[in-house]
């Protein structure tokens, strides 16, 4: 679908669609309203946060697992909704768990690398 077609479907200009696309590719100088972004996201069947995630074209990724991707997006959406509804204390608790899990994963990855780099007897 072209930017012009998407703009018509979303009720925004092609210029606005282009700005949102450039934003996703790391151009912080673009201007658009959240209302416009929500219209475009709705036209594409996304949540606005999904539309505004940065895109990294430099990654050489395998063919996507569409079902897996949909599950991941559903889980992320649920996580974001639950987080936004949690109390400040609840958000802090979630943050602390996420930080611990990140540290644990990083430590486990480092340990795996050490095991791989050990010379065989």
Give residue-wise pLDDT tens across range 45-54: 888 888 777 7
Residue 98 within a domain: yes
> pLDDT (tens digit, 9 = 90+) per residue, 20-45?
888 877 677 778 888 998 999 899 88
Handedness of CA 49, 53, 106, 99 (dihedral sign): negative
Identify whether residues 72 and 113 lie together within a single domain.
yes
Q: Does the model's pTM come out above 0.75?
A: no
> pLDDT (tens digit, 9 = 90+) per residue, 74-98?
788 888 888 889 999 999 998 899 8
Going from the C-alpha of 98 to that of each of 12, 70, 75, 94, 107, the distances in angstroms are: 37, 22, 15, 6, 14
Q: Which domain holds residue 40?
A: 3-51
Please report, rounded to a whole number, the percentage of residues in the chain having pLDDT higher than 70.
76
pLDDT band of 117, cuts 50, 70, 90: low
Identify whether residues 112 and 74 lie together within a single domain.
yes
Cα separation, 54 vs 24, whole angstroms:
4
Identify whether residues 37 and 72 lie together within a single domain.
no
Identify whether residues 46 and 15 lie together within a single domain.
yes
Specify the pLDDT at position 30. Answer: 78
Identify whether residues 45 and 71 lie together within a single domain.
no
Specify the pLDDT at position 9. Answer: 93
Identify whether residues 47 and 11 lie together within a single domain.
yes
Specify the pLDDT at position 88. Answer: 93
């Amino acid at each position: 679908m072209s930017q012009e077609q998407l703009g018509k479907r979303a009720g925004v200009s092609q210029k606005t669609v282009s700005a949102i696309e450039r934003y996703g590719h790391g151009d912080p100088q673009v201007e658009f309203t959240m209302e416009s972004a929500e219209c475009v996201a709705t036209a594409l069947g996304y949540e606005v946060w999904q539309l505004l995630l940065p895109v990294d074209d430099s990654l050489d990724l395998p063919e996507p697992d569409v079902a897996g991707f949909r599950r991941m997006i559903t889980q992320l959406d649920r996580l974001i909704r639950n987080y936004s509804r949690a109390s400040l204390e609840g958000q802090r608790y979630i943050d602390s768990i996420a930080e611990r899990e990140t540290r644990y994963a990083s430590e486990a990855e480092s340990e795996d690398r050490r095991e791989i780099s050990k010379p065989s007897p």
